[in-house]
Amino acid sequence: MNRLPDEYILPIADIFQNIVNWLVDEWRPVFQTLRWPIAQVLDAVSDLMNSLPFWLVILFFLIVGWRTAGIRNGVFCGVSFVLIAFMGLWDEAMDSLSILITAVTFCVVVGVPIGILAGRSNKFWAVLRPVLDVMQTTPSFVYLVPVVMLFGIGTVPGVIATIVFSMPPVIRLTNLGLRQVPAEAIEAGESFGATEWQALINIRLPLALPSIMTGVNQTLLMAMVMSVIISMIGAEGLGLSVLRGIGALDVGQAGIGGLAIVLLAISLDRITQGLGEKSKQAHHELKPRSLLGRFRAARTGASDSPASMQ
Partner 1 sequence: MLAVSEVSLKVREGEIFTIMGLSGSGKSTLVRCLNRLIEPTNGSILLDGEDICLKSSQELRDIRRTKIAMVFQNFALLPHKSILENVEFGLKLRGEVKESRREKAGMALERVGLSNWSDRYPDNLSGGMKQRVGLARALANDPDILLMDEPFSALDPLIRADLQAELIKLQCDIKKTIIFITHDFHEAVKLSDQVAVMRDGKFVQMGTPEEIILHPGNEYVENFSREMDRSKVITAKDVAQTGATPLYADMAADSVLKRMKKTGKQFAILVDSDKKPLGYIFRGDLENSTELEMKVGADFQRQDEEVISVSSSTIVGNLYFQLSQQLPLAISDDKGHVVGTMDANDVMTHLSQAGQYTNIRNSAHAFSTDGQISGESHLTINCFDKVVSS
Nearest approach in angstroms of CB 169 to partner 1 is 23
Instruction: Determine the 3-state secondary structure of 2 from DSSP.
Output: coil
Whole-angstrom CA distances from 295 to 174, 275, 286, 288, 302 are 38, 27, 17, 14, 11
The yes or no reply on residue 301 touching partner 1 (CB under 8 A) is: no
Nearest approach in angstroms of CB 76 to partner 1 is 29
The yes or no reply on residue 304 touching partner 1 (CB under 8 A) is: yes
Instruction: Determine the 3-state secondary structure of 11 from DSSP.
Output: coil
> Using CA atoms, how far apart are residues 281 and 283, in angstroms rounded to an integer?
5
Q: Which is nearer to partner 1, 57 or 116 (CB)?
A: 116
Closest among 111, 101, 103, 131 to 173, alpha carbons compared: 111
Q: Which is nearer to partner 1, 207 or 268 (CB)?
A: 207
The contact pattern for partner 1, residues 203-242, with x = CB under 8 A and - = no contact, is x--xx-x---------------------------------
Task: Write down the H helix ranges in 54-204.
Answer: 54-69, 71-86, 90-120, 122-137, 140-151, 155-166, 168-179, 183-191, 196-199
The yes or no reply on residue 309 touching partner 1 (CB under 8 A) is: yes
Nearest approach in angstroms of CB 212 to partner 1 is 13
> Using CA atoms, how far apart are residues 230 and 138, in angstroms rounded to an integer?
15
Residue 132 main-chain phi, psi, to 5 deg: -65, -40
Nearest approach in angstroms of CB 304 to partner 1 is 8
Q: Which is nearer to partner 1, 8 or 192 (CB)?
A: 192
Quick one: 60 exposed, middle or buried, by C-beta within 10 A (0-12, 13-18, 19+)?
middle
The contact pattern for partner 1, residues 68-107, with x = CB under 8 A and - = no contact, is ----------------------------------------
Quick one: 237 exposed, middle or buried, by C-beta within 10 A (0-12, 13-18, 19+)?
buried
> Using CA atoms, how far apart are residues 42 and 163, in angstroms rounded to an integer?
12
Whole-angstrom CA distances from 249 to 6, 222, 241, 243, 246 are 40, 27, 12, 10, 5
Nearest approach in angstroms of CB 190 to partner 1 is 6
Q: Which is nearer to partner 1, 139 or 306 (CB)?
A: 306
Nearest approach in angstroms of CB 287 to partner 1 is 5
- By CB under 8 A, the residues from 137 to 196 that bind partner 1 are 184-185, 187-195
Q: Which amino acid is at 98?
A: S
Number of residues that bind partner 1 (CB under 8 A): 26
Q: Which is nearer to partner 1, 28 or 296 (CB)?
A: 296
| Span from 24-32, 36-44, 142-150, 200-208 in contact with partner 1 (CB under 8 A) | 200-208
> Using CA atoms, how far apart are residues 151 and 34, in angstroms rounded to an integer?
10
Q: Which is nearer to partner 1, 292 or 309 (CB)?
A: 309
The contact pattern for partner 1, residues 265-294, with x = CB under 8 A and - = no contact, is -----------------xxxxxx-------
- Residues near partner 1, by CB under 8 A: 184-185, 187-195, 198, 202-203, 206-207, 209, 282-287, 304, 306, 309
